[in-house]
Amino acid sequence: MVNSCTKAISFFGVVQLLLSMTIWNDVLFTVNSIRKSLQSKDMHIDVSIDQLRGLVSFLKTYREEGFTSAIIPAKKIALEMNIEPVFRKKHVIYRKNNLMRMLTMKPQDLSKNHLELITSYT
């Protein structure tokens, strides 16, 4: 557990890890409550179908609004742990792209360059 947690922290960062744990807690809590009712002995099909429809609607709304609602508890947990609640910035990789160079050329130069490419392959 400790090794996988350390790997996750180094990959995601602490706040991202707390955020993902908060999201999973919300989703799994809802799924678990429906799972328990589906496994009960006196389960009714119509009630179960309504609960599953409610689960689907919960997941659809959580997809749209869940991230913003999960950030608040994740930041609270980070502050309680004396961690600055800031997402780690990703390193931006810049690559030289010949296509971009070709797109910024004038149309006549582009045609000439295209002709040179065709003749170089033959």
The 10 Å Cβ neighbour count of residue 62 is 16
Confirm whether 12 is domain-assigned: yes
Confirm whether 100 is domain-assigned: no
**Where residue 29 falls among pLDDT bands split at 50, 70, 90?**
very high
Confirm whether 101 is domain-assigned: no
Show the domain range for 71.
2-80
Average of per-residue pLDDT across 18-40: 90
The total number of structural domains in the chain stands at 1
> What predicted TM-score, i.e. pTM, was given to this entire model?
0.57
Confirm whether 114 is domain-assigned: no
Rounded to whole angstroms, what are the CA distances from 69 to 8, 19, 64, 109? Answer: 22, 10, 10, 52
| 50 or 101: which leads in pLDDT | 50
SS3 44: coil
Confirm whether 30 is domain-assigned: yes
Report the candidate in 68, 55, 53 with the shortest Cα–Cα distance to residue 27: 55
